[in-house]
Amino acid sequence: METSSAQKRVTELQTLLNQYNYEYHILDKPSVPDAEYDQLLRELIELEEQYPEFRTPDSPTQRVGGEVLSMFEKVEHRTPMLSLGNAFNESDLRDFDRKIRQAVGDKFSYVCELKIDGLAVSLRYEDGLFVQGATRGDGTIGEDITANLKTIKSIPLRLKKPYSMEVRGEAFMPKKSFEKLNSVKEEKGEEPFANPRNAAAGSLRQLDPKIAASRNLDVYLYGVADTGGTGVQSHSEGLDLLDELGFKTNKERKKCETIEEVLLYVEGWVEKRPNLPYDIDGIVIKVNSLAQQEELGMTAKSPRWAIAYKFPAEEVVTILKDIELSVGRTGVVTPTAILVPVRVAGTTVSRASLHNEDLIREKDLKIGDHVVVKKAGDIIPEVVNVLLERRTGEEQNFKMPTHCPECESELVRLEDEVALRCINPTCPAQIREGLIHFVSRNAMNIDGLGEKVISQLFQEKLIEKVSDLYKLTSEQLLGLERMGEKSVQNLLSAIEASKVNSLEKLLFGLGIRHVGAKAAKTLAQHFGTIDGLMDASYEELIGINEIGDKMADSIVTYFDQPEVKELISELKSFQVSMEYKGPKPVTVENSDSFFAGKTIVLTGKLEQLSRTEAKEKIEALGGNVAGSVSKKTHLVIAGEDAGSKLTKAQDLGIEIWDEDRLVEELEK
């Protein structure tokens, strides 16, 4: 075939197959038999192999799975992927509705959507071409899973219009795909997946895209992350736009004018839920108007304009076989119920936390009892109550021990605490749990070092403290079970990469009592280096906003310990970063910026900057970006279609800038 003819045929096949793919996976109206589609795809694959210069990023051949990855790269979301607040009953939904009315009045509507039980993903397009897909991660940083997402045929590789945009959705595994996958795994003697959600998440985190391609995943898109330039005024318009662009959205959504309509919608799906070809775990309710969404704003964790109604937890009866004890990294001894395995909300449950001795007494639990079990939020197994009428008299009382089940040290109950605690600093369980915490996502985030691997390394005496992680060699790791050359290399690379983390990651990972992730960042920003923090006095610490008496005392006590000083010295010797690498906080005293010390509100659509970019630039110059206008507001930045916030600012006589003035000031 001549080159010009080959190019023409490749283009014809790509166009034709993309149209067939859209009809089958989006419209659910296939126009050709599968055999014909497969034959055309084979022809295209052969032509693109012979003429690779004609292969395009949106070719159907790009869905079959590319090269095996060594690890997932990190991706920072341009717009944070916040989680939703939860409602568990009618009262919660009515309370949500009341708060909306108090904030925006009575003229608004809701959009109700099925809450797909899968993995939240973000898709980025440039000039209509799919360029990157990522997991939610911690909401700010996710993982690049573009290669795996390309294997999902309902995700368009090129949009019907050349938009540059970021959209959000839920990748999931249909029930039929799940049943087929588990059937294959069982035939091979492998452990089946617990539920479709775990199967979907596990499939999208495979380093080999061909595995993801074989899992028959699907996706529903539920929102546009940044509507700038699209002309979209409401959430429902955003969903309609996604349909127009070739995305797959869930058609079971409904616009509701009142909370009564919302409640009827919710009630209907409680009944119809089992008949769906995919799992849902609730209903998402959103205020429809984007202007009103902006007016309602966000909390630190979730939007005020949306809520997730979680379906009532399924309750089942099983037998409490035993109560086991575990010791956490802070020494707290936690009892766990060992149950006769039972299916609850799609998974097999054999364990449930009992939290502490007081809860066991409160529920009057005895070993051998028939107990009611549910999953709180459809996730965490929980013992609800005992069926007293089923007692036979053979049940046995449980008594908490007086000594640590791991190291035999005497347990203590500290003042104002219900938990028993082991205070032996050399307790093996605390050391092991501390190591697991150190490598976790919000701490040093070392991929490949999960709980099982840490436990294995600890058991083999290859690690006893966190600095030992940086001494590990490939020879040591290759001698362990299930450790091949590739996994060992990936693990050592991840450990090496953790050395360049910013200081707050290390501080949180060290597990200093009362110091969470937020406090760790505050301390890192304030002191800049770990030496500065170690030299800080109690008085200096409590002078920092958000650092209280207990935390300050805990920090001073922690760094006074000789073994801690030795640990920090060892980590330094392995070139683990001891410096804060994020944006420095700017104060009125040390900044000549116009924004320093001022409270600023952003409203309306910005064209030159995204909302997140504007917020970050203002805060980097010492400003505080607030979500609502008040008498304490110093300045309002008004973009296009600014709503009630602009009106309120005008009424209060607050200074108002347009975006051009903001950009001009930022450039100074």
Q: pLDDT tens, 340-350?
A: 999 887 678 89
- Single out the residue of 82, 156, 160, 161 nearest to residue 123, CA to CA: 156
Over range 627-644, report the average pLDDT.
Answer: 83
pLDDT value of position 19: 87
Cα–chain-centroid distance for residue 662? Answer: 32
Once rounded to an integer, what is the mean pLDDT over residues 263-276?
Answer: 90
pLDDT of residue 376: 67
Q: What is the pLDDT of residue 90?
A: 92
Kindly tell me if the per-residue pLDDT of 77 is higher than 60.
Answer: yes
**368 torsion bin: left (phi>0), alpha (psi -120 to 50), beta (else):** left
pLDDT of 655 above 80: yes
pLDDT > 90? residue 169: yes
Pairing of strands 599-603, 624-626: parallel
Say which residue, 251 or 271, is predicted with more confidence: 251
pLDDT at 343: 82
pLDDT attached to residue 454: 92
Given pLDDT bands bounded at 50, 70 and 90, which one contains residue 306? Answer: very high
- The predicted structure's pLDDT at residue 70: 60
The token pair at 7 is 């190019």
Tokens 């005392």 belong to 553
pLDDT tens column, 88-144: 889 999 999 999 999 999 999 999 999 998 999 999 999 999 999 999 887 888 889
Sheet holding 306-310, edge to edge: 85-87, 306-310, 280-287, 110-116, 254-256
Counting Cα atoms < 13 Å in the Cβ hemisphere of 143 gives 17
Of 90-94, 515-519, 616-620, the poorest mean pLDDT is in 616-620
Q: What is the mean pLDDT of residues 366-391?
A: 87
- Number of other CB atoms surrounding residue 470 within 10 Å: 17
Q: Closest Cα partner for 455 from 524, 406, 413, 414? A: 406
Residues recorded for the chain:
668
- HSE-CB at 588 with a 13 A cutoff on CA atoms is 4
Give the single-character DSSP code of 550: H
**Cβ contact 127:165 at 8 Å:** no
| DSSP codes joined into one string, 555-580 | HHHHHHSHHHHHHHHHHHHTT---B-
Query: Model confidence over 3-56: pLDDT tens digits?
Result: 888 888 888 898 888 888 888 777 777 788 878 887 888 888 888 888 888 888
CA distance 438 to 359: 29
The average pLDDT across 203-225 equals 90
Average pLDDT rounded to a whole number, residues 541-570 = 90
The answer to whether 521 is a known catalytic residue is no
As a whole number, mean pLDDT of residues 480-503 equals 91
Residue-level pLDDT at 346: 67
Contact between 144 and 137 under an 8 Å Cβ cutoff? The reply is no
The C-alpha atoms of residue 461 and residue 507 are separated, in whole angstroms, by 25
- Structural domains in the chain, CATH included, are 3-63 (1.10.287.610), 85-310 (3.30.470.30), 316-412 (2.40.50.140), 428-573 (1.10.150.20), 599-667 (3.40.50.10190)
CB 437 within 8 A of CB 511: yes
* Helix boundaries (H) for 69-164: 90-104, 146-149
Q: Are 615 and 582 in contact (CB under 8 A)?
A: no
Q: Is there a contact between 446 and 466 (Cβ–Cβ < 8 Å)?
A: no
- The pLDDT, as a whole number, for residue 30 is 79
Strand partners, 315: 374
In the chain, pLDDT over 90 holds for what percent of residues?
Answer: 48
568 — pLDDT class (breaks 50, 70, 90) = very high
User: Which strand ranges, in their side-by-side order, compose the sheet holding 119-126?
Assistant: 129-135, 119-126, 165-172, 218-224
Output the pLDDT for position 321: 96
Beta bridge partners of 544: none
Calculate mean pLDDT across residues 426-453: 90
Predicted confidence at residue 665, as pLDDT, reads 87
541: pLDDT confidence band, cut at 50, 70 and 90? Answer: very high
Q: 3-state DSSP helix/strand/coil percent for the chain, to nearest 5?
A: 40, 20, 40
Average pLDDT, integer, range 358-369: 93
Q: What is the pLDDT of residues 228-247, one digit of tens each?
A: 677 889 999 999 999 999 99
Please give the average per-residue pLDDT across 249-278, as a whole number.
Answer: 93
Mean pLDDT, rounded, of the chain: 88
- The catalytic position among 29, 99, 115, 375 is 115
What per-residue confidence (pLDDT) applies to 364? Answer: 94
* Residue 316 confidence (pLDDT) above 70: yes
Distance in angstroms (rounded) separating the CA atoms of residues 281 and 174: 14
Confidence of residue 591 (pLDDT cuts 50, 70, 90): low
Residue in the block written with tokens 């996994």:
487
More confident call, 369 vs 652: 369
- Whether residue 598 is predicted with pLDDT greater than 80 in this model: the reply is yes
Q: Could you tell me which residues come within 8 angstroms of residue 566 by beta carbon, excluding any fewer than 6 positions away?
A: none
For residue 641, is pLDDT > 80?
A: no
State the Cα–Cα distance between residues 369 and 396, nearest whole angstrom. 9
Assess whether pLDDT exceeds 90 at residue 423: no
**Inter-CA distances, 120 with 72, 81, 319, 443, Å:** 16, 9, 35, 22
pTM for the model stands at: 0.54
**Interior angle at CA 71, CA 67 and CA 74, nearest 5:** 115
- CB neighbours (10 Å) of residue 40? 17
